[in-house]
């Protein structure tokens, strides 16, 4: 068993009202046991659509996992579609019904509604994996040596079913390869130029290694994926190939393990025993959120301010009124004074500041949407940068700017 196909069922996903987090989680869990997701379908809860998608899914993969469409309401038709696809019928499963009664009784529901009882009806050819966090069971069906698992759509029900039941079952029944991944984070080289620079190295990679280019803001993540039967040997192989990159682009490599830039920064700050604080305006606290997302961030993150109003920049950070009057609030000069005020306020080694116009309208001083100045102050030295990102929507603007600031700070610290 090597390839899997995921099928997300539900109009709420297609409408954009609900985000599909299940596919991301399941794909990551399958990758860890050597199964690659080759296709993800998102479909409506209609019987013929489900059946046609299952047919396509089995043509693409050895394993099909569906999520959603198993609720107690009339718009959930997945079980009927499964029964028709596998030429089966639906009947009451007594073990599942007893499990369902126990689950509901533990939650104070003594009376079982007929609508709830119907959730214990499953295709007769299926193997049932009981759901300990909800009322809809997981059903496994077989076809020509291939497997399908049908799960409910609620993420907190999906995760334990995958981690505690389905993944152990697959590991026990199949001789699976290991899949190991390493990330090399590269800055300062555009993706196209980077590809040219490492082309010879890429062409020479062993057959069991695959390379992907993943741009994130102005950083490029090189994801190396190795497949094989010995996990330790794969790790050695990945490390050997990564070491070959250093003579080529070593000055531009900022990390060879962690994926998230804030995690990379956290490790550098901890190692160098540096403290950091933030003075944010247009990023609205997102910088602080990124910095505190790491466990143990209290070792280096002291605090931050979101001085959105101009007067608060003056009151809390002691930005000069004359500076604002002369250069406007969205300016290099104000950004620099915000960083200085922040560093003095929190008494940290490093301070970060942002002032700009996230949109959708122009700033109060008439500055264009997408304009931002940010300052990185490390000890007594500060650098202020300007970006103009008029093409980005508000949320994307905040995310990009915050990512870029942390990336720039990593670059400054690794060169020190």
Top-confidence residue, 103 or 286: 286
Distance CA 135, CA 303 (A): 44
Could you report the per-residue pLDDT of 353-404, keeping only the tens digit for each?
A: 999 999 887 777 778 899 999 999 999 999 999 999 999 999 999 999 999 9
DSSP code string of 47-110: HHHHHHHHHHHHHH-SEEEEES--SSSTT--HHHHHHHHTT--EEE-HHHHHHHHHHHHTTT--
Residue 294 confidence (pLDDT): 92
CA gyration radius, the chain:
27
Residue 113 confidence class, pLDDT cut points 50, 70, 90: low
Residue reference for tokens 């390869």: 177
Residue 360 confidence (pLDDT): 84
Residues in contact with 98: Cβ distance below 8 Å, sequence separation at least 6, in sequence order: none
- Give the pairing type, strands 276-280 and 301-306: parallel
Lowest-confidence pick of 12-16, 238-242, 360-364: 360-364
Domains of the chain: 3-173 (3.40.980.10), 178-255 (3.30.70.2860), 261-415 (3.90.950.20)
* Position 258 pLDDT exceeds 90: no
Could you report the per-residue pLDDT of 192-207, keeping only the tens digit for each?
A: 999 999 999 999 999 9
**Average pLDDT of span 321-336:** 96
Residue 245 confidence class, pLDDT cut points 50, 70, 90: very high
Could you report the per-residue pLDDT of 147-185, keeping only the tens digit for each?
A: 999 999 999 999 999 999 999 999 999 888 888 899 999
Please give the model's pTM, rounded to 2 decimal places. Answer: 0.67
Among candidate residues 9, 32, 333, the one with its CA nearest the CA of residue 168:
32
The DSSP secondary-structure symbol of 267 reads H
Top-confidence residue, 91 or 257: 91
Whether the Cβ atoms of residue 206 and residue 249 lie closer than 8 Å to each other: no
**Average pLDDT of span 266-291:** 96
* Position 324 pLDDT exceeds 70: yes
Residue 74 confidence (pLDDT): 52
Give the strand order in the sheet containing 276-280: 301-306, 276-280, 350-356, 371-378, 381-388
């Amino acid at each position: 068993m090597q390839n899997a196909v995921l099928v997300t069922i539900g109009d709420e996903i297609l409408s954009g009202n609900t985000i599909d987090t299940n596919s991301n989680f399941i794909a990551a869990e399958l990758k860890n046991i050597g199964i690659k997701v080759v296709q993800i379908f998102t479909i409506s809860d209609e019987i013929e659509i489900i059946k046609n998608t299952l047919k396509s899914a089995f043509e693409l993969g050895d394993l099909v996992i569906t999520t959603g469409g198993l609720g107690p309401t009339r718009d959930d038709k997945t079980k009927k579609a499964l029964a028709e696809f596998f030429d089966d019928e639906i009947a009451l499963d007594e073990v599942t019904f007893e499990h369902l009664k126990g689950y509901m009784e533990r939650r104070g529901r003594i009376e079982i509604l007929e609508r709830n009882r119907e959730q214990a009806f499953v295709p007769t050819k299926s193997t049932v994996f009981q759901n300990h966090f909800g009322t809809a069971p997981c059903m496994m069906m077989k076809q020509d040596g291939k497997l399908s698992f049908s799960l409910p759509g609620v993420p907190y029900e999906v995760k334990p079913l995958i981690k505690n039941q389905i993944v152990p079952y697959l590991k026990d029944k199949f001789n699976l390869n290991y899949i190991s991944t390493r990330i090399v984070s590269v800055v300062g080289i555009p993706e196209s130029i980077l590809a040219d620079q490492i082309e010879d190295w890429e062409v020479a990679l062993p057959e069991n290694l695959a390379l992907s280019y993943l741009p994130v803001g102005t950083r490029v993540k090189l994801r190396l994926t190795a497949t094989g039967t010995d996990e330790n040997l794969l790790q050695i192989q990945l490390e050997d190939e990564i070491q070959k990159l250093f003579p080529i682009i070593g000055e531009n490599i900022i990390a060879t393990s962690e994926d998230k830039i804030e995690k990379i920064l956290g490790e550098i700050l901890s190692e160098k025993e540096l403290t950091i604080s933030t003075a944010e305006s247009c990023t609205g606290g997102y910088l602080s959120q990124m910095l505190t997302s790491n466990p143990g961030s209290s070792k280096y993150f002291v605090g931050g301010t979101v001085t959105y109003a101009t007067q608060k920049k003056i009151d809390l950070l002691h930005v000069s009124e004359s500076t604002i009057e002369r250069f406007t609030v969205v300016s290099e000069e104000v950004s620099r004074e915000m960083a200085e005020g922040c560093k003095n306020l929190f008494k940290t080694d490093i301070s970060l500041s942002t002032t700009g116009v996230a949109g959708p309208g122009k700033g109060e001083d008439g500055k264009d949407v997408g304009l931002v100045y940010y300052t990185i102050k490390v000890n007594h030295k500060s650098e202020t940068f300007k970006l103009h990102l008029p093409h980005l929507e508000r949320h994307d603007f905040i995310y990009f700017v915050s990512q870029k600031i942390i990336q720039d700070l990593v670059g400054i610290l690794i060169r020190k």
